[in-house]
Chain A
Amino acid sequence: MDDLELLRGLGRELEHEPPGTLARQRRRLLEAPDGRRATPGRSGRLRRPGGPAGWSLIGAVAMVTAALVLIPGVVLRGAGKPVLGGAKHLAFGTGKTLNVLLVGSDSRGGGAARSDTLVLVHLPADRKNVRAVSIPRDTLVRVPSCKADGGRVVPARVAPVNSAFALGVACTHRTVESVAGVEVDTSVVVDFTGFAKIVDVLGGVELTIPRAVSDPPSGLSLRPGRQRLDGRQALAYARVRHGLGDGSDLARIERQQKLMSALLKEAREQRLRDPARYAKFLAMSARSVSTYPRLDVGALEAVARGMEKTGADAVRFSTVPVKPAPQDPNRVALDGAAAERLFAQFRK
């Protein structure tokens, strides 16, 4: 083997993931004499319409992957959390249409959790052609009044859709319901920081890489051919933008869907092949996912069984149409008529 390849292997072994405490260094920077006025939140002003949406799409694919893999995982963990029967009776098996809101939270860097990714997933009665629509996180919408921690009521306001999550997943749930005019059966929060770990617990994921990949920004470097990716590599591979295929979003989506199929396959095989490792995977998954309203095990199990029929490539992705917001050209708002046509398909 090439000496540089050997060195890269050594490098990977020596490498450490950035700890949460690295955020302290960011604060040092912001408190530097010249940067006294700096506040973390204001860097958000740098965003332009459409800018962050790229992540939104990548996030959407990763999220649906995560959900498809994790939901059965949580279910099969078996008894545990108390059950929410509640007023709302949900028919989660096949036979009924189901709308699930996936909320990707990303608490990297030790800051407050944010809903970086919002994907509305439509599961038709036969569960065969799943549709997933992502909503760019900084889309300006009317956030209904929500209760904050401690019972304080925050009045309705126009704000970026991801700001609702600061008041809890219930607020995000209601915001999306009111904006889309769609009844959401359940919201599933997936913690992104856990995603790579989950892949690792599965023992990685096996993929065929058509061409060598080198993406310095993410540190991803892959040789062509069939190989096993660890969690970090898998995530980077799903996110990487350039140097692969024709660099288009379509090429990226295709890549992500292959990754998704591979992960689903991996999880299913693991269940039979290595029950001990699978148990670890379930425990890890359970920590990365929560639902609202809290679902009972039976309901989740039904979803999981229903999902078995969903081929990984049977999920179609799109992004809700947006345009620059009239109030603030640096933000986006829903493109009324086009968005309405899209959401109409989610109504039962």
Chain B
Amino acid sequence: MVSAMTAPPAGIPVTGTAAGPVCDADLVERSLEEPEAFAALFDRYSAMLYRYVSRRIGPEPAEDLVGDTFLTAFSKRHRYDLAHRDARPWLFGIATKLIARHHRGEATRYRALRRSPVDGPGEELAERVAEDVTAFAARPLLAEALAGLPRRDRDVLLLIAWGDLSYEEVAQALRIPVGTVRSRLNRARRKVRAVLGDTNPMHEEE
């Protein structure tokens, strides 16, 4: 009896996002017959996409953009490659294209950051870990670097740094070769480091 209490909770398979019993590709496939199945993808990824998009273009336009991303995906679901179990790169790719329409807005946003901090550490400064303080100090520089990057390089850099996609996933999202992902990322990071004042030539990516 006691063992029933202490036994590991059997019969509880991992569930949820990409690797769950229902993978994204299954949902997309199912939605061809039952369109409502697509709503499950929204439930999985809308919050994640919103957070990413809000970083790039701010909270207000992010809401519609996330909606547009799913509407676009929904209308193109017939063309989804079912071999990709994880739909995140696909969705991030669509969102990236839509963000491009806000290009001017995005750059303006970063430029504004060079001058006025979002919300300073203020009195909580002491509680912050050292890294956060460094990040805070570096923010105007980072914002300047981001504002100055060509859009293609910025897309790659931010999909990796903020979207947490792998090189392969970025390649899939933007439909470019992995080698191109690497070269764009290296170029973008070199510029960021240069703005931050790091001129170490050994500081190269792979």
Interface residues in chain A, defined as those with a beta carbon under 8 Å from any beta carbon in chain B: 1, 3-11, 13-19, 21-22, 24-26, 28-30, 32, 34-40, 42-43, 46, 48, 50-57, 109, 131, 133-134, 203, 214-219, 221, 227-228, 241-242, 247-250, 253, 316-319, 321-322, 338, 341-342, 344-345
Q: Knowing A7-B157, A32-B75, A37-B36 are in contact, say whether A21-B162 is a contact too (CB < 8 A).
A: no
Q: Assess A46 versus B37: contact at CB under 8 Å? Given A4-B160, A32-B75.
A: yes
Given A54-B12, A319-B11 in contact, is the A216-B164 Cβ separation under 8 Å? yes
16 intermolecular pairs with C-beta atoms under 8 Å apart: A1-B135, A5-B135, A9-B134, A10-B135, A16-B62, A19-B63, A25-B42, A35-B35, A42-B34, A53-B13, A134-B9, A217-B88, A249-B8, A249-B9, A316-B6, A321-B11
Q: Please tell me if the beta carbons of B88 and A216 are within 8 angstroms of each other in the complex.
A: yes
The answer to whether residues A6 and B189 also contact, given A26-B46, A34-B75, A52-B15 and a CB cut-off of 8 A, is: no
Q: Among A37, A218, A341, find the residue whose CB has the most chain B CB atoms closer than 10 A.
A: A218
Which residues of B pack against A, CB within 8 Å? 1, 4-22, 27, 30, 34-40, 42-48, 50-52, 54-56, 58-59, 62-64, 66-67, 70-71, 74-75, 88, 113, 118-119, 127, 129, 131-132, 134-136, 138-139, 142-143, 157-158, 160-165, 189, 192-193, 196, 198
What residues on A are CB-neighbors of B161 within 8 Å?
A: 4, 7-8, 11
Q: Looking across the interface, which residue of chain A has its beta carbon closest to that of B53?
A: A16
Say whether, besides A219-B51, A249-B12, A46 and B40 are in contact (CB < 8 Å). yes
Interface residue SS majority, chain B = helix
8 closest pairs, A vs B, by CB? Answer: A9-B135, A25-B67, A38-B36, A54-B15, A35-B35, A216-B164, A16-B54, A217-B17
Q: In the complex, what distance in Å separates the CA atom of A216 from the CA atom of B15?
A: 15
Chain B residues with CB under 8 A of A216: 48, 88, 163-165
**Are B67 and A54 interface neighbours, CB within 8 A?**
no
In the bound complex, residues from chain B placing their C-beta under 8 Å from that of A36 are 35
Chain A residues whose C-beta falls within 8 Å of the C-beta of B43 in the assembled complex = 26, 43, 109
Q: Considering only CB atoms, which chain A residue lies closest to B44 in the complex?
A: A217
Given A16-B51, A54-B15, CB of A318 within 8 Å of CB of B75: no
- B131 contacts A57, CB within 8 Å? no
Q: How far is the CB of B202 from chain A (nearest CB, A)?
A: 14
Q: Is the CB of A25 within 8 A of B189?
A: no
With both chains docked as a complex, state the minimum distance between the C-beta of A280 and any C-beta of chain B, in angstroms.
14
